Amino acid sequence: MLITAQAQQGRDRERARELMAMTYQGAVMVLNKVGETDLAWIAADRGLSAAQQSDNMAVTGSLFRSVAHCLLSNGRFEAAVQLVGDAADYLRPALRNADAEFLSIYGTLPRRLAAMGSLRTNLPVAVQTVSMAKSEHRATFKEITDSLDPGSTHEVWLSAVNTGVIDGWAGGTWHLTGKKLDVRVARRLAISADLMVLGRGGSTQLEDVPAEQRAAVWEKASRRYEGPGGKVEGPEWPEEPLYCAFKFVSEDGRNLLLLDESC
């Protein structure tokens, strides 16, 4: 593949580099799924190198995300945070002539960092990078970190619903698709979704729901469903928790049903 790319000229060479980068990204997804995180990191690093040589900033941004995910999967949180910040700075000049595809990729970088902050109980990083994502991405990563009070870190978790991202779950990154689900939609997804996750404490702590327990978990949640079309039976909150559901989709097209439990 590398020899073929090098043999091309002009735009054909750039296109070959793009395809090579995306091929490596596909390998990253598969390797992460089977638990080969070290090999996934190698593939992501090579994919990023190919992407940068292609001069396609959308592809490069996508590979930056893959490398950050691999760093996080290997327990290298600080390196992942630094990479996301550097990636945002590297990609920012392309915003001047950005299309929808690039804006979508660039816009997920602050959210990725926010998810990392929430996973490591760093509320200031999480909250301020969500704000960065909503403010046309003008702040640099250094400006964000420099603005933090050194004594302001709290031992708290940030809700996956608030960040809109579940990172590093089942070998992928999952993005929130919308608001609370209608109870009928949630009922269908309880059967058909690739994964069901119970979000305890307002989705600050996530638990996978095994296939054999899905029916029982949904039955309990459906009796106290406060989302559209639902009803609440039994004791008043907070004696018993309330539930609502959200749909997340992974970068490789899988569906995840999150049952948010408020108690």
pLDDT in tens, 106-143: 766 655 555 555 544 444 444 444 444 444 444 444 44
**Can you tell me the mean pLDDT for 188-193?**
93
For residue 237, what pLDDT is reported? 63
The answer to whether residues 94 and 168 belong to one domain is no
The answer to whether residues 87 and 182 belong to one domain is no
pLDDT band at 195 (very low <50, low <70, confident <90, very high): very high
The answer to whether residues 16 and 122 belong to one domain is yes
The answer to whether residues 103 and 219 belong to one domain is no
The answer to whether residues 130 and 174 belong to one domain is no
The answer to whether residues 129 and 178 belong to one domain is no
| pTM, rounded to two decimals | 0.46
Residue 149: which domain range?
2-156
For residue 259, what pLDDT is reported? 94
Final residue belonging to a domain, choices 156, 174, 201 = 156
Closest CA relative to residue 58, chosen from 25, 9, 10: 25
The answer to whether residues 51 and 147 belong to one domain is yes
Final residue belonging to a domain, choices 113, 136, 156 = 156
The answer to whether residues 16 and 109 belong to one domain is yes
The answer to whether residues 142 and 201 belong to one domain is no
- Give how many domains the chain has, as a whole number: 2
C-alpha to C-alpha distance for 72 and 78, rounded to whole angstroms: 9
Closest CA relative to residue 68, chosen from 48, 93, 92: 48
Phi-psi sector, 253: left (phi>0), alpha (psi -120 to 50), beta: left
Instruction: Measure CA of the first residue to CA of the last residue in the chain; give whole Å.
Output: 54
pLDDT per residue as tens digits for the range 78-102: 777 778 778 888 888 887 777 767 7
The answer to whether the CB of 206 falls within 8 A of the CB of 261 is no
pLDDT band at 24 (very low <50, low <70, confident <90, very high): confident
C-alpha to C-alpha distance for 23 and 33, rounded to whole angstroms: 16
Pair of tokens at residue 243: 């539930």
For residue 243, what pLDDT is reported? 93
Pair of tokens at residue 117: 């902050």
Omega of the bond leading into 235 within 30 degrees of 0 (cis): no
pLDDT above 80: residue 33: no
Highest mean pLDDT: which of 62-76, 153-167, 208-222, 236-250?
208-222
pLDDT per residue as tens digits for the range 12-22: 667 778 888 88
Helices (H), the chain: 2-7, 10-33, 37-54, 57-73, 77-91, 100-119, 123-133, 141-146, 160-163, 183-192, 200-203, 214-222
pLDDT band at 150 (very low <50, low <70, confident <90, very high): very low
Higher pLDDT residue, 140 or 247? Answer: 247
For residue 79, what pLDDT is reported? 77
Edge-first strand listing for the sheet containing 165-169? 165-169, 172-176, 242-250, 255-262, 195-199, 205-208
* Burial track 58-71 (b if 16+ CB lie within 10 A, e otherwise): bbbbbbbbbbbbbb
For residue 114, what pLDDT is reported? 55
Final residue belonging to a domain, choices 141, 156, 171 = 156
Average predicted confidence (pLDDT) for the chain: 75
The answer to whether residues 74 and 124 belong to one domain is yes
For residue 80, what pLDDT is reported? 75
Do the bridges between strand 172-176 and strand 242-250 make them parallel or antiparallel, or are there none, so unpaired? Answer: antiparallel
C-alpha to C-alpha distance for 207 and 46, rounded to whole angstroms: 33
The answer to whether residues 150 and 180 belong to one domain is no
The answer to whether residues 120 and 172 belong to one domain is no
The CATH number of whichever domain residue 66 belongs to comes to: 1.25.40.10
Residues with Cβ within 8 Å of 204's Cβ and at least 6 positions away in sequence, in order, are: 156, 157, 158, 159, 160
C-alpha to C-alpha distance for 178 and 70, rounded to whole angstroms: 26
* Alpha-carbon separation of residue 53 from 12, 16, 186 (angstroms): 12, 10, 44
Higher pLDDT residue, 26 or 69? Answer: 26
The answer to whether the CB of 153 falls within 8 A of the CB of 125 is no
